[in-house]
Structures are given as structure tokens and as C-alpha cells.
Amino acid sequence: MEKKNKILMGALAVAVIIIALLLGYIIGSKGKKDDTAKQDVTTEASTTDEKTTEKTSEKATENDSEEKTTEADKKDTTEKAKTVEQYACYAKISAGDSWENEGKTVVQYNVDLFNKSKSKISDWEIQVDGFPTDAKVGDSWNGTIKLKDGVLHITAVDYNKDIESKGSVTGIGFQVYFKNKGDASSVSKNPDVYVGGELYTEAMPEKEKPKDVEPSEPPKVEKGTPFENHGKLSLKGTDIVDKNGEKYQLKGISTHGLAWFPEYVNKDAFKTLRDDWGANIIRLAMYTAESGGYCTDGNQTNLKKLVDDGVSYATELGMYVIIDWHILHDTNPLDNQDEAELFFAEMSQKYADYENVIYEICNEPNGGTEWSDVKTYADDIIPIIRKNDKDALIIVGTPTWSQDVDIAAKDPVDNPENVLYAIHFYAATHKDNIRSKLETAHDAGLPIFVSEFSICEASGNGTIDYDSADEWFDLINKLNLSYCGWNLSNKDEASSLIDSGCDKKSGWSEDDLSETGQWLRKTIKN
């Protein structure tokens, strides 16, 4: 009996164990499912943590690497960076034409040096690295050029050794003979500039803020004048239209540089051009980078006074007037953009209530300047004008001395309303090739303004080509383009409209005019 009880007790214990194991398995299976879900979440979190750790580790490695950078490496990096335009003195180099000569590749380079600092610099040197040691320098101009151990050294000559504040030395050029054609690609695009033997380190001066200017009240306009009859102008497609929506053609004259021929900015001169020539527009050409230029050594107060006088006289006479930011030797409008921003902010505030004022924001981009540079500049300047003058006509220059309107037509400015594009020509030099560019751009819907032209050679002097001039005007009139002829002065060159022997400042007779002046007077009158 005792043994039987023990057996029963043992069997009961086994049963309890089996039941416990079964319950444990069931509970365990459920737990595994829950744990699997938790494990999935944990795995994702772990992965994220691992990525974060990896990034942190990479950043730490980068920091460690940066900390381990030698002082020499830092100095080298800093020195290379000092050639960019954020610094107050910098140079630009661009490759021009290339050709083969006696088994070698010859490349012509152009270099411009800019002093944006607040003081004059002297004893300057530009160093360009990346030349192979077997390269040789050929012809050079506007600088002394030496090539040693792969570094090209450019030093000043007597006439350009001093650069005034906000001045520049442009047109430095040289030719280099390369043994291998591909070697030219290694030349540095960012030259180093040294002043007095030291790498120039002064930072670009901070931008000035535009001055608040009280809007000027327009003077009373004479009755029966072009503006009184046609009013505020705007664009309709490729055409300039008047206040009645009718096509209108502006026909007139450009001054020469205001700093050089200020005496022709007078009311009687403009009146002669209006009444005797039939002109309805005056272009006020204010050079920016030449001697006496607005951004170099010119008297800005006097230059702005000439602009103000010119605008006032033209307005009183009921004529339209262009305020022309006349870049030329500065080549790229970006070079003096800070000054341009201040200038056009002031002008557009001052003349916001004048309905006859037109703004030409960059005369002739050139020297390798690309349309992308001009467009960048225009897209910055146009909103500055529009902030004050919502709908004035604006003229944008185009590359290659304002000839590449066909390129601009492929990528117009961001805010195209009432914006025209400049084309310039000199009839004895620019013929079918430039006329073709004009027609291509016009056919593409680009509004174009001939804001400067003459009938002589591109130098502003030389031979007069009447046949080419007539072809140009056949096209101009066919397309209803507006124009301003160059230039109102008695300078001894073919493009001047007044004979060099005439000292009259207004009231010119036929005999007082040059050949170009006589031709243009007849053309405008007809």
C-alpha cells in the first residue's frame, strides 16, 4: 500500500512537470513572438545608432584629421584662397586664342588686376603657377613677364606701377609656348597677388548701404514735344510702344564720356539735336573704369551732377534720356557691381517720378566676359531699380562689346518685363555676321536697342562705310529698333559728330559737323 502510494505520488509529480513544461512552451512561444517584434524595433534603433555612431566617428576622424593638418598646409590653403574676389586686390587670368607653331602649342593669355582696397598700391606682382618647367614665354605687353620653375611672374611697367583705390590694370597679355598641348590645362585660374613682396591679404571692404535719396520732382515739360505727345514708354513683344500702345522709335545721340566732354551737356545742345536733327533721346555715357571714371579716380559728385543736369535738360525739352553705366576697360560688370548697386539705387530713387528715364546697366561687356556673368549681374541690378521704379525701360548689355544678342536670347534675364538688350555696331567693321545675330535674336522674341553705333571702324575712327551703314538702317527700320549714334563731341576721330575744328557747343550748322555728323543728322531727320 505504501509502495503503491509512492508510485501514485511519483506519477502525479511527473504529470505536474509535464503540464508545467507544456504551459512553459505555450507561454514561451507567445513571448518569442512579442520578443521578435521588439527585436525588429531594437534592430532598427540599433542600425540608426550605428549610423549615428558611424557619422559621429567620421566627423571625429575629420576633426582629428583637421587638427593634424600642419601649419604649412594651412598656410598654403590660405594663400591660395587669397586670390579670389573676396579680397581687396585680386587678378583674373583667361586663355584666349591658341595655335600651333613649329611643333609647339602657343596660347595667348590675358590678365587683369583689380585694386578694390581703400588705398593706392604700388610695387605689385602677379604670380601664376601650374606652368610646365619646359614652357617658354613669347610676346608680352603691359607687364614684364618671366617664367621660372613653373611659376609665371608678372610685374609692373612704369606706366602702370601705381593703382589707385578702386582702380585696375587691364589688358596685360602674353603668349606661352607649350611642348605638349595638354599642358595648358594645368595653369592656375587664380593668380596670387603680391604687393611690396608680400602676399596681399586685405579683405574686401564691406559693402556700403544705399543712401536714401529724396525723389526729385520732374520739371515742367514743353508743349508739343516728343514726351508730351507720347508719354511713358513700355514694351509690347519686341517693340517699344508709347502711352497709347502704338509702336514708337527712339532716335538720338549718345554723349562721349561725361568726364571728358562735359561741355556738351547743355540745354541748347540738346535743343539743337531735338529741333534741327529730329532727335527724341539723349544717352548720357558715364565711364566707370577709365581715367576719370566713376569707379576709378573720377569725381563721383561732379559726374552725378552732370547726369542730373542731362536728365533735367532732356526732361524740360520733352526728350527721353538714358543713364548709361558705361563699362569698357573693366570688361565684366561684376567687377564693379558694388558701385553699380549703389549708383542705380540712388538714380532710381531720385528719378522714380520721371517717366522719360531709361537705365542702361552695362555698356559693353567684353574681354572674355560670358553671358552668364552679365545675366548674374543684371538679375541683381534690375530688382534694385524695380524697388524704386516699377516699370522704367532697362537696357542690358551683351558680351563681345554688346554684339552677342543671339546668346542672350537663349537665356533672358529672370525679370524680363520692360527689359531690352543692347546691340552695338560700327558699320565699317561689323557687317552681315552681326546683323545675322540681331535677326536671330529678334526672331526669337528678344527686344533689342541699338544703344551705340557709328558708321566707321570699331575703334571709333578710320574708314567710313556708307554702304554697310545703309544696310544696317534698312534692318533697323524694318525691325522698328531704337538707336543712339556715337558720339556728341569734337574729338578728332571719325565717330565724333562735331568737326574737330568747331568749338561751338550748340547751334551747329551743316559745315560744323563731321562726315559722320552730317550723315546721322540726315538719317534721323528722314
Per the document, the length of the chain is 526
Reported as a single tens digit per residue, the pLDDT across 453-477 is 999 999 999 999 999 999 999 999 9
**Model pLDDT for residues 366-421, shown as the tens digit of each residue:** 998 999 999 999 999 999 999 999 999 999 999 999 999 999 999 999 999 999 99
For residues 20-30, give the mean pLDDT.
39
Q: Mean of the pLDDT values across residues 232-259?
A: 98
DSSP of 46-93: HHHHHHHHHHHHHHHHHHHHHHH--HHHHHHHHHHHTTSTTBSEEEEE
pTM score, two decimals?
A: 0.70
Strand, coil or helix: 276: helix
- Residue ranges of alpha helices (H) inside 367-465 are 371-388, 399-402, 405-409, 432-443
**How many Å apart are CA 354 and CA 321, to the nearest integer?**
10
**What letter would DSSP give residue 106?**
E
Annotated active-site residue in 341, 355, 452, 493: 452
- Percent with pLDDT over 70 in the chain: 84
Residue 48 has pLDDT above 90, yes or no: no
Pick the closest to residue 437 from 410, 466, 417, 473 (CA basis).
410
What are 383's strand-pairing partners? none
Question: CA 340, CA 36: separation in Å to the nearest integer?
Answer: 69
Provide φ and ψ at 137, rounded to 5°: -90, 135
Query: Which of these, 465, 471, 300, 331, lies nearest to 402 by C-alpha position?
Result: 331
C-alpha to C-alpha distance for 167 and 103, rounded to whole angstroms: 40
Nearest by Cα to 211 from 336, 307, 347: 347
Q: Which amino acid is at 140?
A: S
What is the predicted pLDDT for the residue at 56? 39
Query: Which residue, 195, 238, 178, 155, is CA-closest to 445?
Result: 238
Q: Alpha-carbon distance 143 to 193, whole Å? A: 14
- Least-confidence region, from 62-66, 144-148, 155-159, 186-190: 62-66
pLDDT at 37 over 80: no
CA–centroid distance for 256 within its chain: 23
Instruction: Compute φ and ψ for 416, nearest 5 degrees.
Output: -85, -5
Q: How far is CA 328 from CA 232, 324, 475, in A?
A: 30, 12, 26
pLDDT tens readout for residues 486-520: 999 999 999 999 999 999 999 999 999 999 999 99
The answer to whether 352 touches 359, Cβ cutoff 8 Å, is no
Q: Identify the DSSP state of 163.
A: B
Q: Please, are residues 109 and 176 in contact by the beta-carbon 8 Å criterion?
A: yes
Let me know: does 379 contact 415? Beta carbons within 8 Å: yes
What pLDDT is recorded for position 292?
Answer: 93
CB < 8 Å & 24+ apart, contacts of 478-481: 479/238, 479/438, 479/439, 479/442, 479/448, 480/238, 480/239, 480/240, 480/247, 480/249, 481/249, 481/448, 481/449, 481/450
Closest CA to 324 of 360, 291, 293: 360
pLDDT digits (tens, 9 = 90+) for 133-180: 999 999 999 999 999 999 999 999 999 999 988 788 888 999 999 998
Lowest-confidence region among 185-199, 287-301, 357-371, 431-445: 185-199
Q: What is the DSSP string of 175-224?
A: EEEESSGGGGGGS-SS-EEEETTEE--PBPPPPPPPPP-PPPPPPPPPTT
Q: Which of 316, 341, 360, 364 is the catalytic position?
A: 364
Q: What are phi and psi of 370, to 5 degrees?
A: -100, 160
Answer yes or no: is pLDDT of 13 > 60: no
Q: How far is CA 30 from the centre of its chain?
A: 73
How far is it, in rounded angstroms, from Cα 454 to Cα 487?
A: 8
Using CA atoms, how far apart are residues 133 and 148, in angstroms rounded to an integer?
7
Average pLDDT of the chain to the nearest whole number: 86
Largest CA distance in the chain: 156
- Catalytic residue check, 85: no
- Of 32-36, 195-199, 275-279, the poorest mean pLDDT is in 32-36
- Is the peptide bond prior to 477 cis by the omega test (within 30 degrees of 0)? no
Beta 482-488 vs 448-454: how paired, if at all? parallel
The Cα–Cα gap between 460 and 260 comes to: 16
Read off the pLDDT of residues 88-107 as tens digits, 9 standing for 90 and up.
888 988 888 899 998 999 99
- Banded pLDDT at 38 (limits 50, 70, 90): very low
Statement: residue 208 has pLDDT above 90: no
Residue 361 is which amino acid? I
pLDDT over 80 (residue 62): no
Is the pLDDT confidence value at 7 over 90?
Answer: no
Alpha carbons 71 and 232: distance in angstroms, whole number: 63
Q: Are 388 and 403 in contact (CB under 8 A)?
A: no
